[in-house]
Amino acid sequence: MTEPSVRVRGLNREFGDRRVLTDLDIDIQPGEFVALLGHSGCGKSTLLRILAGIDAEIEGVVEVPQRRAVAFQSPRLMPWKRVWRNVVLGLPGRPDRDLAIRYLDEVGLGGHGGVWPKTLSGGEAQRVSLARALVREPELLLLDEPFGALDALTRAKAQRLVIDLWRQHGCAVLFVTHDVEESLLLADRVLVMDEGRIAHEVTVDLPRPRDVGDPTFVALRGRLLGWLGVRDASARPDTTPAS
């Protein structure tokens, strides 16, 4: 068996006297697409920040690849740098415009390298943020609700793009989302966090692109919503006549 890309054992994180992560274990295989669901405040972003190396005040074992990159819900572009410079910001050596344009091309923005971030739409800015993550050729891509602020149509396009990019680059992905349907459209495996650890998981053994009406999809959605304590409003009402 191959070594996992991410291996976490017995992870604890406290803020003051509040324990947010409790003996959390997680494995992500190389090239695997994993989605992470959970109630607001359950610790998803905390886990992601630890995996990204932004937060090191922890107890436990955290093994992650050296080459990793992260994109957040807000694109966090530097407004005083042109788009292409944002893409290669922080890379060693001289800023390489051709390299930046190559990765902007991948997200459909090859023609936007010379513009200022403030001229971009929300969806475009988020795609620049993806290009900035991918230019690092990460083995592990960490995405913290990257499409949470986008309208439904832009979001659907961004979801298709992220699957294409994942296939091309072959990196492992950890994708934090609030959206059960999004998790099932994208991931190989969906994890549900509760009480500071991974409480549940499902494997999504469906070909992509996925059909939200597929009976397996519907059943998995129901199971995930149940674990999250939400009723599936799109499920068909029970029409069985009362006896």
Ligand X SMILES: Nc1ncnc2c1ncn2[C@@H]1O[C@H](COP(=O)(O)OP(=O)(O)OP(=O)(O)O)[C@@H](O)[C@H]1O
Contacts to ligand X by CB under 6 A: 15, 20, 38, 40-46
In the bound complex, what is the minimum distance in angstroms from residue 76's beta carbon to ligand X?
15
Q: Are strands 140-144 and 68-71 parallel, antiparallel or unpaired?
A: parallel
Q: Which is nearer to ligand X, 18 or 94 (CB)?
A: 18
A 10 A CB-CB count for 158 gives 19
Q: Which is nearer to ligand X, 43 or 138 (CB)?
A: 43
In the bound complex, what is the minimum distance in angstroms from residue 112's beta carbon to ligand X?
29
For 238, which DSSP code?
A: -
Separation CA 61–CA 79 (nearest Å): 37
In the bound complex, what is the minimum distance in angstroms from residue 187's beta carbon to ligand X?
17
Q: Which is nearer to ligand X, 44 or 132 (CB)?
A: 44
Alpha helices (H) along the chain? 44-52, 83-88, 97-106, 122-134, 152-169, 180-186, 215-228
In the bound complex, what is the minimum distance in angstroms from residue 88's beta carbon to ligand X?
29
In the bound complex, what is the minimum distance in angstroms from residue 197's beta carbon to ligand X?
13
Q: Which is nearer to ligand X, 40 or 240 (CB)?
A: 40
Q: Which is nearer to ligand X, 41 or 79 (CB)?
A: 41
35 CB-near residues (< 8 Å, 6+ apart):
174, 175, 176, 177, 182, 183, 184, 186, 187, 189, 190, 191
CA geometry: angle 122, 124, 127, nearest 5 deg: 110
Please name the amino acid found at residue 6. V
